[in-house]
């Protein structure tokens, strides 16, 4: 059974020029995701493997009857280190457009309030490669650099549509029957 992390006391501070992000870590790196995209945060749970999926797709989970694809964000961002893999990771359940997906991360820290004028665009050299197009901005928090990700861009279009077109009902039936 997956345990969840409650996001209590969330306030919308748009009037005050503050944005809220859920902070999370992968290895030594610190990232943030806009809190408005976060549906839920769960402790690692059993993931059902999907054959012939991209290497960063761990599989799917059944979350209260909904079949949700799970992406290992560590592999997707090329930050995966098998020697430093934590046995119990977190899964960020995010709403991306009209779909929901889970992203495996090493840790979830806290809700961060960031003044919108303190967020800088990533340096041009960082976003020059297509694989870095998902970096929305950077800012400094508590003396550490926070990389803000745009999860709508984390998956390339063809990968996103491949996940979207997976036959989740068939996977759900196999999961329930145990075939």
What pLDDT, in 10s, does the model give residues 29-49? 899 999 999 999 998 788 999
Q: Residue 16's pLDDT is what?
A: 74
Taking the CB of residue 35, how many other CB atoms lie within 10 A of it? 17
Beta pairing class for 90-96 and 18-26? unpaired
Q: Residue 124's pLDDT is what?
A: 66
Question: Across residues 109-127, what is the average pLDDT?
Answer: 81
Q: Residue 179's pLDDT is what?
A: 44
Q: Residue 83's pLDDT is what?
A: 60
Taking the CB of residue 45, how many other CB atoms lie within 10 A of it? 16
What pLDDT, in 10s, does the model give residues 127-136? 444 455 678 8
pTM of the model: 0.76
What structural domains and CATH numbers belong to the chain?
A: 14-177 (2.40.50.180)
Find tokens 């990232």 and name the residue.
31
What's the number of CA atoms in the CB half-sphere (13 Å) around residue 45? 22
pLDDT at 150 over 60: yes
Distance CA 53, CA 86 (A): 23
Distance CA 77, CA 56 (A): 9
């Amino acid at each position: 059974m997956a345990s969840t992390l409650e996001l209590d006391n969330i306030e919308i501070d748009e009037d005050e020029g503050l944005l809220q992000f859920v902070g999370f870590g992968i290895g030594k790196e610190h990232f943030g995701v806009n809190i408005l995209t976060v549906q839920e945060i769960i402790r690692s749970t059993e993931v059902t493997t999907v054959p012939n999926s991209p290497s960063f797709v761990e599989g799917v989970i059944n979350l209260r009857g909904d079949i949700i694809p799970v992406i290992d964000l560590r592999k997707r961002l090329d930050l995966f280190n098998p020697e430093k893999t934590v046995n119990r990771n977190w899964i960020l359940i995010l709403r991306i457009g009209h779909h929901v997906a889970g992203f495996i991360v090493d840790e979830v820290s806290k809700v961060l309030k960031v003044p919108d004028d303190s967020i800088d665009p990533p340096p041009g050299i960082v976003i020059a490669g297509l694989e870095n197009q998902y970096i929305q901005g950077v800012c400094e928090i508590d003396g550490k650099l926070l990389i803000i990700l745009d999860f709508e861009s984390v998956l390339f279009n063809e990968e996103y549509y491949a996940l979207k077109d997976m036959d989740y009902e068939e996977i759900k039936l196999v999961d329930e029957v145990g075939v």
